[in-house]
Amino acid sequence: MIAPRANNLRCGLDVGGTQIKAVLVDSNDEIVSEFSSPSQAHLGPEKVRDSLLSLLETIYHSGYKFNAVGIGCAGSVDSEKGIVRNSPNFSNWKDINLRLWIEEATDKSVIVDNDANCAALAEWKLGKGRGFKNVVLLTLGTGIGGGLILNNGIYRGSTGTGGELGHFSIYSDGVPCPCGNIGCFERYCSASALKTRVPEFSAKDIFKNVTIHDKCQIAVKEFIRNLQTGLVSLANIFDPDIILLGGAVSEGLVPYISEIREVVKGRCFPAIGAHLKVDFTHFSNNSGAVGAALLHAID
């Protein structure tokens, strides 16, 4: 029998297309430990359930006794019911009741939310959004994830699908998007957008080769111009205290952040621009799991 390492923990899970990340958070919102395992998404929903349950078992048997579970998942999530309607990471998922899966097996209280909402929550509670009332978060990865903290709470919209910040149009005659819209922000400011323009390089290498290859330079210039356009619109719509950029692609933007900040602040409404901050996220790739753990509030 292993003695408990800590009690009153909350476990956050970020269920991705290839990996499940888990974070344990104590009653002071301190991160206690982290775990991960393959999600096996390509083998179907039941396999993902098995992966989730076996990871929770591993955590429990390592001596971390959690009493609540939060789960973040990309896509359209009905947080009230704990159902993932559909997800870009799991093409074969339709109305998957993630909450029921985990509650039945563990007898713990479970909350499910969109992964970018979880990331925004993590930044607002523990990261760069701390102390602010309105936070806009973008995760620039294969696509764009969006999370909103408005008036000190997660904004989910009327159907739970609010805050899909990668899917407003920046070109009315632009590239069709799988979401059904045309010219979505995501089609121009994501890793897949960069890859479309320079197929011979990864998104990371396109940023690295910007001074060597003209094609990379043009692609990055376009990317930054489109990003600025999107950020100005987001700033004017939400009048946030801070816009936070995260996700793997944001790492390539480090040399350009001053320029991006200056252009965005200069182009939005003067009162908004004077107040607005634009920065990178504090958490890198575990923000979804950290935020998922924080879905269960400690009173």
Contact yes or no for 195/202 (Cβ under 8 A): yes
Q: ∠37-43-45 over CA atoms, to 5°?
A: 85
**Least CB distance to Zn ion at residue 164 (A):** 8
Written as one string, the DSSP assignment of 38-98 is E--GGG-HHHHHHHHHHHHHHHHHTTEEEEEEEEEESSEEETTTTEEEEBTTBTT-SSEEH
**Least CB distance to Zn ion at residue 163 (A):** 13
**Least CB distance to Zn ion at residue 193 (A):** 12
**Least CB distance to Zn ion at residue 186 (A):** 6
Pairing of strands 19-25, 76-78: unpaired
Let me know how many helices (H) and strands (E) the chain has, helices first. 9, 13
Kindly report the backbone phi and psi dihedral angles of residue 15, in degrees, each rounded to the nearest multiple of 5, phi listed first: -95, 105
Q: In the complex with Zn ion, which residue's Cβ is closer, 68 or 184?
A: 184
Q: How many CB atoms lie within 10 A of CB 158?
A: 6
Q: Residue 107: name the closest of 116, 119, 99, 96 by CA.
A: 99
Q: In the complex with Zn ion, which residue's Cβ is closer, 40 or 181?
A: 181
**Least CB distance to Zn ion at residue 251 (A):** 23
Residue 157 DSSP label: -
Q: In the complex with Zn ion, which residue's Cβ is closer, 53 or 177?
A: 177
Q: In the complex with Zn ion, which residue's Cβ is closer, 99 or 187?
A: 187
One-letter amino acid for residue 46 of the chain: E
**Least CB distance to Zn ion at residue 244 (A):** 21
Contact yes or no for 132/150 (Cβ under 8 A): no
The site for Zn ion (CB under 5 A) is made up of 167, 177, 179, 181, 184
Q: In the complex with Zn ion, which residue's Cβ is closer, 6 or 182?
A: 182
Q: In the complex with Zn ion, which residue's Cβ is closer, 43 or 175?
A: 175
**Least CB distance to Zn ion at residue 114 (A):** 15
Q: In the complex with Zn ion, which residue's Cβ is closer, 6 or 177?
A: 177
Buried b (16+ CB within 10 A) or exposed e, 106-136: bebebbbbbbbbbbbbbbbbbbbbeebebbb
